[in-house]
Structure 1
């Protein structure tokens, strides 16, 4: 069973560096998967650098997939969110479907985990918050990602020392539902990545945003433990684990974590969608509550509460200075 490819893997565009596709000059191949290849490209109309994803030609010839790809690309482009990769254009050129999006200088969450291993709980929570915010925004637009995994989370430089990473959730224009509806997957084949697949994806039940929460729970577990929650020697055993085995405890690989963190992640990994949190942000909120107040980083003086000014009992409250009063604008007149 190959989760990311249909039974006969489509032929992907190759050797296109230097070619022009729909107003974009392809400069360098930067990624390749079972369904698409991604190039760094130059937008010849605006002079900016973009990322262009080219899909296998077989996909464009499938009318169901083509229409759904265009529909979901338009839906993704309509979501203006700081942690969803901006989609600039989607279309078809010489029989190849393409997607132009922001080029992110940097790697992805997979590279970050491989490089840094298990990360501190505060950092894991900060990263999870950005992904959860993007997912809930998509769910509000009735768009379910269905393939949340570290490789689909791009990592850019942040704004300052307190926000060193800025994450972008990518691949909304190629949700795996498109493949299953178009007949490009065989009967019983799982669409998505098995390490992060929710039980309802495996069993073929209807999906909503809670399946993305399960996948996010797997990503959070991996950020904290260094590996996904279920590791098995075969795909069949991995499927069984997602469907039946309780998630392994986090305190084994991470005894430094508060016990409450283990329970919070376990709820996000519940087998039944109704037993998970009502939203991805709620999951991260509970995770933050489980670790308690953020410790002082040492980069500046610790925050202290400002004491109240003592007043004699019954003394009138003084009027605020003029600069602190409300500003009232006159009504607009023609």
Structure 2
């Protein structure tokens, strides 16, 4: 498809992004929404292939069910002039395969971050019962900010689909396929976990674990050859991190992580010092289904006699030919009968005692594990002759991370030996990922974040580029996770452009002026003068005057009375300090992070500045003199260029003034030694 071609009257082709086995991908401009998109177009030789068309449609259906920031969004799917196409979110970056090649070796903390984003996307798919089945670095995109996006759900399937086992063909990429997929068995969520383990191996070592001359030789290695050690490649890799690879890529799906979230939680702590001496993960051999314990056999004198006779026919014949003595005394017969009865009773008592012992030995008590570390709880369960069952992770503000919340069956209950005990383990406080909300409606965003549990604060500022009620800036970095119970999110919200008719402020107190200003959304600045007309603390005059019109968010100068002037040897002196506040272009701030960091500004500060997404700077000025305190805002303003400001000071001979300027949440100017003689 040539540059400039307009697909379906809407998508103008800019150029080719790549080629696949069944489709080509182009960069295009959405002429309606004015944004760049990726257009995936089914190749000409597949357009009459019903299976290819079905896979193409399946990819769109699978991806549109998923709502996760790490999954490439599908905007549109259609057919025009026999051409099947998908319109997808455009990710300006490269695939993970190339990213590994360009950036290897990758720091371990970044490895964890990359895998956490991938696991987040796969977990969302699994939550909707969708199995990807073709996870590989080529299907994972990395944008220029290191943000991960997963794509290509063309061969994914629903976990509940009644699909045939692929016995004659292998679906997926051979280097990342699980042993069960290679054998033609049905893929499960744990098949995706195996692929994630291979991807983690490649990020750590820069190569795939198994290679060969043919696909068959690679498949055999996946099924039979033990996973190579990443620590043999790089001994600095923590054992805990290698254990994640080994557990995720276990040959038997039952030996892998039960869920992607479980894998992510384990990987997230793999760099912790507490796991520095962790032993290497090994798959436990299966236990014998029948224990070779001593069995108690029932005993009967009659049975013993019969058995003895059956074993010796000669004795049986001799016994049969012996003459019967019918002349034994009756007393002797009675004594023998009582001995026989006593023997039988004794045997029955022994059997009952043995049954009680066997029954008692077959039961055990579920140990108390709540509050203990997960590894300690597993050891206690095994020591009690029980089996560790499913382990689920649940967020908790009360129970520390990796400690047990509860068990099932409950603690101290009596159960049979070998019973499975499932655990609920704390994953720590619930963390919620926040986004970039600049330009969105504040009320909608506020409600959404408060529903998640955040505390939301608002500051107003006028804006000619954003309508009233839309967010100008935010004081947190997009994409980060926070605990809603402890995090406060602050927004600067546009008041738009509105005219205010000022009322007469004369005679008001400062508090009354502040209350009125907040109500009509204007910014007052205060000065102090001696006055015989107004008592101390009351407004003497204002500028602009009463009944004059100003823009909402504009400034109003207010003079407050000091009371009548008194003679004093330490007379107040008035003077001005002129400063120039530098303007920061937020569009270029993101690209200059490295320069900022070299200048001594923390990465958190730099990233905060770059999240505003606006060409306006919100500036707060604090001033301390005879009439003002540094703890309150003297003046708030919005600038779009370097701006000169005059700061009025009133100081006695013994006083020292101060001022500071805060731009977008960071102090950029300060002077703690302002005196009359120094200016």
Q: TM-score range by the shorter chain?
A: 0.7 to 0.9
Q: 2:41 aligns with which of 20, 38, 54?
A: 54
Q: CA deviation at 1:67?
A: 4.0
CA–CA distance in structure 1, aligned partners of residues 54 and 21 of structure 2: 20
Query: Structure 1 residue runs of 4+, over 4 Å off?
Result: none
- Relative contact order higher in (CA < 8 Å, ≥ 6 apart): 1
Residues 201, 263 of structure 1: alpha-carbon distance in 2 compared, 3 angstrom cutoff: same
The TM-score normalised by the length of structure 2 is 0.38
Residues 75, 69 of structure 1: alpha-carbon distance in 2 compared, 3 angstrom cutoff: same
Q: Which runs of 5+ in 2 are unaligned?
A: 275-679
Counterpart contact for 1:176–1:192, Cα < 8 Å: no
Q: Which runs of 5+ in 1 are unaligned?
A: 1-14, 159-164, 295-334
Partner of 1:88: 75
Moved more, 116-125 or 242-251: 116-125
Q: CA deviation at 1:284?
A: 2.1
Residues 237, 93 of structure 1: alpha-carbon distance in 2 compared, 3 angstrom cutoff: same
1:194-205 aligned within 5 A: 194-205=174-185
1:156-195 aligned within 5 A: 156-158=143-145, 165-172=146-153, 174-175=154-155, 188-195=168-175
Q: CA deviation at 1:187?
A: 6.9
Partner of 1:122: 109
Q: Does the residue aligned with 1:114 lie in a helix, a strand or coil?
A: helix
Q: Does the residue aligned with 1:291 lie in a helix, a strand or coil?
A: coil
Counterpart contact for 1:57–1:95, Cα < 8 Å: no
Q: Does the residue aligned with 2:13 lie in a helix, a strand or coil?
A: strand
Moved more, 20-29 or 35-44: 20-29
Residues 239, 269 of structure 1: alpha-carbon distance in 2 compared, 3 angstrom cutoff: same
CA–CA distance in structure 1, aligned partners of residues 54 and 138 of structure 2: 25
Counterpart contact for 1:37–1:53, Cα < 8 Å: yes
CA–CA distance in structure 2, aligned partners of residues 95 and 272 of structure 1: 45
Partner of 2:247: 267
Counterpart contact for 1:129–1:281, Cα < 8 Å: no
Q: Does the residue aligned with 1:89 lie in a helix, a strand or coil?
A: strand
Q: CA deviation at 1:65?
A: 4.4
CA–CA distance in structure 2, aligned partners of residues 69 and 230 of structure 1: 30
Q: 2:186 aligns with which of 199, 206, 209?
A: 206
CA-to-partner distance for each residue in 1:63-98, whole Å, 9 max, x for gaps?
A: 354345324412311311110011101122222221
Residues 277, 187 of structure 1: alpha-carbon distance in 2 compared, 3 angstrom cutoff: closer
Partner of 1:8: none
Partner of 2:231: 251
CA–CA distance in structure 1, aligned partners of residues 67 and 156 of structure 2: 22
Larger radius of gyration: 2
CA–CA distance in structure 1, aligned partners of residues 54 and 201 of structure 2: 36
CA-to-partner distance for each residue in 1:19-44, whole Å, 9 max, x for gaps?
A: 22222121100111111110000112
Residues 96, 293 of structure 1: alpha-carbon distance in 2 compared, 3 angstrom cutoff: farther
CA–CA distance in structure 1, aligned partners of residues 83 and 42 of structure 2: 6
Q: Does the residue aligned with 2:242 lie in a helix, a strand or coil?
A: helix
Partner of 2:339: none
How many corresponding residue pairs?
Answer: 267
Q: CA deviation at 1:259?
A: 1.7
CA–CA distance in structure 1, aligned partners of residues 122 and 248 of structure 2: 14
Residues 177, 136 of structure 1: alpha-carbon distance in 2 compared, 3 angstrom cutoff: closer
Residues 176, 78 of structure 1: alpha-carbon distance in 2 compared, 3 angstrom cutoff: closer
Partner of 1:278: 258
Counterpart contact for 1:28–1:39, Cα < 8 Å: yes
Q: CA deviation at 1:110?
A: 1.1
Q: CA deviation at 1:177?
A: 6.3
Structure 1 residue 20 and structure 2 residue 1: aligned?
no
CA–CA distance in structure 1, aligned partners of residues 247 and 156 of structure 2: 25
CA–CA distance in structure 1, aligned partners of residues 110 and 273 of structure 2: 14
Counterpart contact for 1:147–1:193, Cα < 8 Å: yes
1:105-116 aligned within 5 A: 105-116=92-103
Q: CA deviation at 1:242?
A: 0.7
Partner of 1:69: 56
Counterpart contact for 1:127–1:167, Cα < 8 Å: yes
Q: CA deviation at 1:231?
A: 2.1
Counterpart contact for 1:85–1:101, Cα < 8 Å: yes
The TM-score normalised by the length of structure 1 is 0.74
Counterpart contact for 2:131–2:157, Cα < 8 Å: no
Q: CA deviation at 1:288?
A: 2.4
CA-to-partner distance for each residue in 1:41-76, whole Å, 9 max, x for gaps?
A: 011222211000111245443335434532441231
Partner of 1:143: 130
Moved more, 51-60 or 118-127: 51-60
More strand by share: 2
Q: Does the residue aligned with 2:76 lie in a helix, a strand or coil?
A: strand
Residues 293, 51 of structure 1: alpha-carbon distance in 2 compared, 3 angstrom cutoff: farther
RMSD over aligned CA atoms reads 2.2
Partner of 1:313: none
CA–CA distance in structure 2, aligned partners of residues 207 and 59 of structure 1: 26
Q: 1:36 aligns with which of 23, 36, 41?
A: 23
